[in-house]
A and B are shown apart, each in its own frame.
Chain A
């Protein structure tokens, strides 16, 4: 085995990012590493490349135990990495980028002619004949990516890690990069391939390893693996079928109160129709990058609509900006609460009243007593674990931060609340509380759009599930169709009975 990882463990405060993970990379194979956000892929890669120090476990390369302490050391050992964002210097020439730090020298000075010659010879082996004197930035991303691969291989040459290398390429460019990857495989390199595009995984890789919640779920040959199984492993549905018993599940769907007709935005999400009724919970399911968050951001005015319009029973709604959406009675608890949700240095009280205060306007400050009452009230109701309402919110755990962000929106009493991954990274107890809270809100007539990677959660909470693939709404499941099996099948294939939403 070229590279063997045994019992790799990495602990961060509060989470086990990697828990006893084994992984083998053979020479001459392309090995896919799959998993949803937070599964542990990037932690694993960072342990391999020396960006993180592991807490336990062993890594052996060609039979010798290694312990890289920096990316440079990992490179010298033979492990090179290429990232989604080309990690080179666009304003240097191709030759300079390729030979950077190991330029051929003459009398101690860089020899530009030899640099060019060597760069040209190197790239020829990758099927590229380009002008190596031009700035790297003047070439397409695919070429830049191949130059990055060439550089990584030239420096390291044993194991190549490709971390989402195709995310910003079109189909022809992907094919070009894949040709290079295959030729490297045939030369006996071990290649780790990380991607969210399942088609590419089936197209390129020999074996697949799936991580979930820091654990290795399975390693299996790609050939013979069904999409269904793959998705099942990634999303990790418990085997005992969760029952679909949503809170507001009436036999018939409630009368819609909000309509979105043909709303869409190029490059983000294809135009879709959506309507939602009072007290209804609509789920958005799909893999990462399928367009779930983009849908939410479109509906909340974070990304302006390019096509379509929104209306309620009274007439058209303006969704030009988050402020406009808030005026229309919308709320949005974003996925990345650290960068988009909390205001870290402010207190819990200030974070909770921030939205309400912004809506009242600066000239009408909320009286302090009312702020205190509101904050204490939500700290109690949502069971936010804190030393008091004046604690800076940045000091709270993720789950309690999430509850405070929820409290901010609940205090504003929206009629339509969008929750993007409301339970990610939250401990089990808080998880259940948040689901209970959603049920309570819908009983009071709030419409909720929920995005979640956890199928069981979706089945448990949603009246209706819309499935997304490749930045389009591809299926809608209602009533009895909402089951873990059906959602998974729709994510994997998107062609099940139940109708396809436009």
Chain B
């Protein structure tokens, strides 16, 4: 577990610093109250509002670990939300609507996976196709309207509360734990990393790279379906034009803030989720601080830039040097190279 902590330390530090910064502008940021059996407070809002990007980031982490990218997740959100709303509006039950949305997400992921692993189309191009086409599909389902529904069971997924916490928080928490456990308790994590680092060598060693690639995009599609369900349930309607719009970029950003390389290989789902929470903390912080809307994007970009620069290879090497020298100082013994690379075991 100490390996995990060491891996996600930069993200934890960034998040803590950010919370401190937001608290300067909005002192009550960390206040949490119990209200009718549910926790209320800005932090809870961050956890809840961060759910769609956190869910997307889980799938995106796997895709990026294979040296891919999935630009279509925002559009998949719209498709799945539209499918669920259509099912509910047509009188299907909550369970059936959920199943349809998840199946739509898996199907969209399968489409991406087959284009990429089967036909060898570059992930950027293959998912771009669905990114542009998917929103149109969603609009066909909703006929261009906001398709609303009144299904309390389904709405509960977006705005309900369980054990004091909003349901979307449970969704990303459980999805994250499940996928992380699946990756590290089975050999999937290792095989995905191997394919991402060197697909050819992995294939020659007998790794079924094709099936793994397809599976990773299906996983990303399922995560996008969950995110779409959360967003649709939250506003009790499917807004095909706006659901998940540009969220694929936030998801990629979350993965990058999580310290995962866009060149594939080693990955950490926990760090990506922290990345999503960092982004949401910035968004919520700006809203609470009450800056004029015109500054939103500039402030967000500026803070993300600072975080990425502090995590950049050059700066983090400096940090390591500083830390090592401080650690060595008490003893006059000559400094020896301290292995600072996180131990690869026990990553989540």
Contact = CB atoms under 8 A, between A and B. Distances in A.
A111 interface: no
A94 to B, nearest CB: 31
B187 A366 contact: yes
Interface string B259-283: 0000001100000000000000000
Contact of B190 (A302, A339, A350, A364): A350
A346 B187 contact: no
Contact of A322 (B198, B203, B265, B266): B203
Given A354-B194, A357-B187, A366-B187, A326 B206 contact: yes
Nearest to B263: A345
A300 B193 CA distance: 24
A362 B204 contact: no
A332 B204 contact: yes
B207 A354 contact: yes
Given A345-B266, A346-B193, A354-B194, A365 B187 contact: yes
Interface in A332-378: 332, 334, 339-347, 350, 354-355, 357-366, 368
Nearest to B184: A365
A389 to B, nearest CB: 10
B185 interface: yes
A390 interface: yes
B148 interface: no
Given A357-B190, A390-B343, A323 B208 contact: yes
A358 B208 contact: yes
Q: Which of B186, B198, B201, B266 has the most CB of A within 10 A?
A: B201
Contacts of B200: 339-340
B328 interface: no
Nearest to A332: B204
Given A346-B194, A364-B187, A366-B187, A355 B344 contact: no
Contact of B197 (A323, A332, A346): A346
A54 interface: no
B201 A342 contact: yes
Contacts of B193: 343, 345-346
A340 B186 contact: no
A411 B9 CA distance: 36
Contact of A390 (B188, B190, B198, B344): B344
A267 B191 CA distance: 33
State which size class the interface on A falls in. Answer: 20 to 34
A408 interface: yes
Nearest to A342: B201
Nearest to A357: B187
B190 A354 contact: yes
Contacts of A343: 193-194, 197-198, 201-202, 205
B306 to A, nearest CB: 28
A354 B345 contact: no
Given A322-B203, A326-B206, A359-B206, A345 B265 contact: yes
A180 to B, nearest CB: 37
Contacts of A362: 186-188, 191, 212
B197 A345 contact: yes
Contacts of B191: 357-358, 362
A354 B197 CA distance: 13
A340 to B, nearest CB: 5
Interface in A33-70: none
A358 B266 contact: no
Contact of A365 (B185, B194, B204, B205): B185
Interface string A289-327: 000000000001010000000000000000000110010
B106 to A, nearest CB: 18
Nearest to A354: B205
A332 B204 CA distance: 8
Nearest to B341: A392
Q: Which of B185, B187, B201, B205 has the most CB of A within 10 A?
A: B205
B218 to A, nearest CB: 14
A483 B201 CA distance: 35
A368 B345 contact: yes
A31 B285 CA distance: 72
Interface string A204-233: 000000000000000000000000000000
Given A342-B198, A366-B187, A302 B207 contact: no
A345 B343 CA distance: 13
Contacts of B212: 362
Contacts of B202: 343, 354, 358
Given A346-B193, A362-B187, A339 B201 contact: yes
Contact of B204 (A340, A346, A359, A366): A340
Contacts of A334: 204
A471 B188 CA distance: 40
A355 to B, nearest CB: 4
Interface string B168-206: 000000000000000001111011011001101111111
Contact of B194 (A340, A350, A359, A364): A350
Given A343-B194, A343-B197, A346-B197, A365 B186 contact: yes
A358 B186 contact: no
B187 A322 contact: no
Contacts of A354: 190, 194, 202, 205, 207
Contacts of B206: 322-323, 326, 355, 358-359
Contact of B186 (A339, A355, A363): A363
A120 B186 CA distance: 66
A344 B197 contact: yes
A322 to B, nearest CB: 5
Contacts of A350: 190, 194, 344
A354 B203 CA distance: 10
Contacts of A340: 200-201, 204
Contacts of A341: 201, 204
A408 B205 contact: yes
A307 to B, nearest CB: 23
Contacts of B345: 368, 390
Contacts of B203: 322
Contacts of B194: 343, 346, 350, 354
Interface string B203-238: 111111000100000000000000000000000000
A333 to B, nearest CB: 9
A322 B204 contact: yes
Q: Which of B185, B187, B193, B202 has the most CB of A within 10 A?
A: B187
A355 B206 CA distance: 6
A363 B266 CA distance: 20
A366 B186 CA distance: 8
A153 to B, nearest CB: 38
20 contacts: A322-B203, A322-B205, A326-B206, A339-B198, A343-B193, A343-B197, A343-B198, A343-B202, A344-B197, A344-B198, A345-B193, A345-B266, A346-B193, A346-B194, A354-B207, A357-B190, A358-B202, A363-B187, A365-B187, A390-B343
Given A343-B197, A346-B190, 5 more contacts: A343-B205, A347-B344, A350-B344, A358-B207, A365-B187
Interface of B: 185-188, 190-191, 193-194, 197-198, 200-208, 212, 265-266, 343-345
Interface of A: 300, 302, 322-323, 326, 332, 334, 339-347, 350, 354-355, 357-366, 368, 390, 408
Q: Which 7 A-B pairs have the closest CB atoms?
A: A358-B206, A365-B187, A326-B206, A358-B207, A355-B205, A343-B198, A362-B187
